[in-house]
Structure 1
Amino acid sequence: MGLAWLGIDLGTQGVRALLVTVDGGVLGSGAAPLRRGRREGVRHEQDPGEWWEAVCAACRAALDGVRVRVAGLAVCGTSGTVLLTDDTGRPVSPALMYDDGRAAAEAGRLRSAGLAVQDTWALPKARWLVGRYGPGRVAHQPDLINARLVGGPVPTDSSHALKTAYDVERDRWPDLTGLPSGALPDVVRPGTRLGEVCPAAAEATGIPAGTPVVAGMTDGCAAQIASGALREGAWNSVLGTTLVLKGAAADPVHDPTGVVYNHRAPDGTWLPGGASSVGAGVLTARFGSADPAALDAAAAAFEPSNAVAYPLVSPGERFPFHAPQATALLLGAPESDADLWAALLQGVAFTERLCLDYLHHLGAPLDGPLTFTGGAARSPYWTQLRTDILGRPARVPEQTEPALGMAALAAYGTGAAPTLADAADGMVRIGTTVEPRPDRTARFAEPYARLVGELEFRGWLPGAVAAHARARLRP
């Protein structure tokens, strides 16, 4: 009987499960929606009980009729989602989702005490939950599912613990969390074996009892694993509603402004990255139900556009600079919808280039392959445009779901590959590699420099970073 590994992705709108062989063959898949969430203003919470119901449905679908041995599984969740449980691992509060903003005052108090946390990070939300629901044990989204799978409480992984202010360099919780004694879980590295699927969970999910359960990583890290960008100098650019860059490095990339953060890989190396507020969400907001393919075709006549855009999806920028006051920019006047569409596509790619320039400014290794994932990678025109503006080739994998990344992590954690990078190399299949056109790259140098200058003029982009970006334009 052959072997396969199960990856489970706890998303915002649903749960996805994939059963994957060591060479990347997908033997089974399943999905189940999450419908009982509540979103009002800054409030965004979900019923954690629904997560388990969806996991059971998705896993049963993925395993239906499959004749292989499930050699292990791992679970990823949304970064910063947190809840309280009792000592048995059962929820005693709703789950505050990754973008719930009700703990801003708690975050301010933590920053005043010297902890570098953001308003939507898990630690301030955990403090908010304790104040509202009383003492409990802090759990991240996958912790709840892993506890149900093995039949009791489990340690959390250091990847999900990062936004609860876990110190991944020193492998310890900070002293100033302000939480009751015993509230924080033990922490292990991703890939650590947590236990085995218990009989009750096996009956509910269809996963065979005794299947090893391996500590996972956040959904962003899971997507990076699914891109194969795990060897030093490799980067994955995820372009969906917003833009996220994640790479691999032997050492953490230290950023005095705090916009670049570092996850710890299972082997002790580092996964630096940053998340911008620029992205494809501006296209949906501006053009609604328009045909993207038709607009892509029309945009090809405007290279470069008559306008230069900094297309923020929402106010405030997080990466490649920190500017809460930043707003979307449109310099110049597009002559048509096609010209505006071109300006927005180009503006996102300019931001992507500036992110890479900023990482270079910090000393991050950038000499490995670049991979494109996310919804935008489905547009051949935008993919080619991005490679032209960046001036470097990009790979587009066939399958980029976070659940695939968790299957690879499960394979590594159960000893099927000596390193996580090796496991990903086996499972990740590259669909296409797109080469830049040098004449097009040269066309976009002037509008890129114009945007850099405008961001510097407005006080958002530090002068040293702007100068570095301009210097990298020179042959």
Structure 2
Amino acid sequence: MINPAGELWAGVDVGTQSLRVYLVNGAGSIAGRGSGRLTSHRALGRDGAPRHVQDPDQWWQVLGEAFRQALSGVDAERVRGVGFCSTSGTFVLAGPDGLALTPALMYDDGRAYAEAAEVAEAGAELWLSLGYPIQPSWALPKLVHLIRSGHHGRLQHCADHLAGRLAGEAVATDWSHALKTGYDVEAGTWPTPVLDRLGVPAGMLPDVVRPGHRIGSVGAVGAEHTGLPVGTALHAGLTDGCAAQVAAGALTPGAWNSVLGTTLVLKGVTPERLRDPGGAVYSHRHPDGGWLPGGASNVGAGALEARFPGADRAALDAAAAAFEPASGLTYPLLTRGERFPFVDPAAEAFDTGDFTGPADRYAALLQGVAFVERLCFAYLEGLGADVSGPISVTGGATRSPYWTQLRADILGRDVILPAHAEPAFGAAAAAAAGDGSLTAAAEKMAGAGRVVPHRPEVHERFAEPYARFVGELRDRGYLGDDR
């Protein structure tokens, strides 16, 4: 690994399965990397709703290990700041000492089904104006659920929880992470009247600042744990979907980034906020002006491990190429319920057709995710979004050249593999930008990516199976007749 000269910025990304740290200079060269595995627990509650939790102490442990790896052979004094990103809607309740009082409720934890309906009703006019599709997995309904279950403490999103532990004191969150907790991004305030109706004390919620803003500095305990110098600046970050968008440099109107990791997340840029009566799309505020619309599906690469645990993915990719299209269709939901391109908490995965064997089934799974991705872009275009600009693809699924090519073919669009696809890179760029232009910092650091051209003849080959896939969704009541 080349160790570039000059100042460095660190980016921390806390995902579902791992935590990653990047050290990046102002020109986008990477000086160090570190990572560690994370575990989580999924289960169904007695009410049938999905639970998904992580241990926040494991976040802290792996954070220290990952920073030690990244700083190996690097002068830690060169690190000027640290930025953070994490899964949207993931949070803990913490005590005055900053330690977690609850497990971390993850981004797709759906225990707050009843509370989501109450939250939607309590702030109906506000949510409509903001385009917030209140869902059980959002942080605000889950917070209401915890309060009514007798829990207390201060809400901390994953990113600001770790920043606070590094600082040794509570820090502000950013308006990207705060959105699913009900923060009013138009007014720049917590909606106190709505929160009062829901019984959420104002003291439970953190202050909110712009992504990139300095929120504190590394204290003695954080320095000992990570190897960072005392006083290293800590900066507010963004959700992982937004951070991946930053890493791709997709921050100008018409550009889109499709993140395919455990789940599928699309993020773009529009001058005006999109209005979605279906509630599948919501918009973050762009730090430089305008909006970052997008949505998150419950399909994704996580279904590969669920259905083909421990398999040789490269061998299956090669075998799947013989099934274009597959003998049947697969809608590979990771959990019950869908969030994008439609909202239906009762949606269920399905398979149709007669498959000839594992390779055929594997091919249908890859194609099913790509069909959902195509449908998401069609939905965004139907809302009035400009989807004609460059499409970058990031996330763990891009490690498969075959799947990336297949996605381009099914979309019928060339796609770009960014030079640096990790959300941790985007978090580092946010730290480097500080209160300045995030777009300029990202453009300087991201560099040029590699274009994967689509194959028009393959796109045509998938026209009929894609139409059947949409028809299956419509027959099950997941899509209206107008889709």
- Equivalent position of 1:72 in the other structure: 81
| Structure 2 residue 193 is matched with structure 1 residue 184 | no
| Offset at residue 205 of structure 1 (A) | 2.5
| Offset at residue 256 of structure 1 (A) | 0.6
| Structure 2 residue 366 is matched with structure 1 residue 362 | no
Alpha-carbon separation, structure 1, partners of 2:173 and 2:338: 30
| Offset at residue 362 of structure 1 (A) | 0.4
Deviations 1:92-119 (A, max 9, x none): 4443333334433333332342455221
Alpha-carbon separation, structure 1, partners of 2:277 and 2:396: 31
| Offset at residue 267 of structure 1 (A) | 1.6
More displaced 10-residue stretch of structure 1: 426-435 or 350-359: 426-435
- Equivalent position of 2:249 in the other structure: 228
Match runs of 1:129-148 below 5 Å: 129-148=146-165
More displaced 10-residue stretch of structure 1: 396-405 or 252-261: 396-405
Query: Which of residues 450, 473, 480 is equivalent to 1:432?
Result: 450
More displaced 10-residue stretch of structure 1: 422-431 or 349-358: 422-431
| Structure 2 residue 266 is matched with structure 1 residue 245 | yes
Q: Is the 8 A contact 2:395 2:422 kept in 1?
A: no
C-alpha RMSD of the superposition: 2.5
Alpha-carbon separation, structure 1, partners of 2:148 and 2:347: 33
- Equivalent position of 1:263 in the other structure: 284
- Equivalent position of 2:293 in the other structure: 272
Deviations 1:214-252 (A, max 9, x none): 111112222222222222111111223332211122222
Alpha-carbon separation, structure 2, partners of 1:369 and 1:285: 32
- Equivalent position of 2:27 in the other structure: 23
| Structure 2 residue 463 is matched with structure 1 residue 459 | no
Does the C-alpha gap of structure 1 residues 27 and 451 become closer, same or farther in structure 2, counting only changes over 3 Å?
Answer: same
- Equivalent position of 2:127 in the other structure: none
Deviations 1:51-100 (A, max 9, x none): 33332332233223313621211112222222223456444444333333
Alpha-carbon separation, structure 2, partners of 1:46 and 1:281: 16
Paired amino acid for 2:194? L
Paired amino acid for 1:29? R
Q: Is the 8 A contact 1:130 1:136 kept in 2?
A: no
Alpha-carbon separation, structure 1, partners of 2:357 and 2:116: 44
Deviations 1:420-450 (A, max 9, x none): 1222222224552111122222222222222
Does the C-alpha gap of structure 1 residues 438 and 351 become closer, same or farther in structure 2, counting only changes over 3 Å?
Answer: same
| Structure 2 residue 459 is matched with structure 1 residue 450 | no
Partner SS, residue 241 of structure 1: coil
| Offset at residue 271 of structure 1 (A) | 1.4
What count of residue pairs does the alignment treat as equivalent? 461
Does the C-alpha gap of structure 1 residues 461 and 25 become closer, same or farther in structure 2, counting only changes over 3 Å?
Answer: same
Q: Is the 8 A contact 1:321 1:460 kept in 2?
A: yes
Query: Which of residues 122, 126, 135 is equivalent to 2:139?
Result: 122
Partner SS, residue 204 of structure 2: coil
Paired amino acid for 1:162? L
| Offset at residue 257 of structure 1 (A) | 1.0
Question: What stretches of structure 2 of length at least 5 have no aligned partner?
Answer: 45-49, 125-132
- Equivalent position of 2:128 in the other structure: none
Does the C-alpha gap of structure 1 residues 445 and 34 become closer, same or farther in structure 2, counting only changes over 3 Å?
Answer: closer
Partner SS, residue 262 of structure 2: coil
Deviations 1:9-51 (A, max 9, x none): 223344321111122211112224446x665444444443443
More displaced 10-residue stretch of structure 1: 202-211 or 362-371: 202-211
| Structure 2 residue 122 is matched with structure 1 residue 105 | no
Alpha-carbon separation, structure 2, partners of 1:387 and 1:111: 37
Question: What stretches of structure 1 of length at least 5 have no aligned partner?
Answer: 467-475
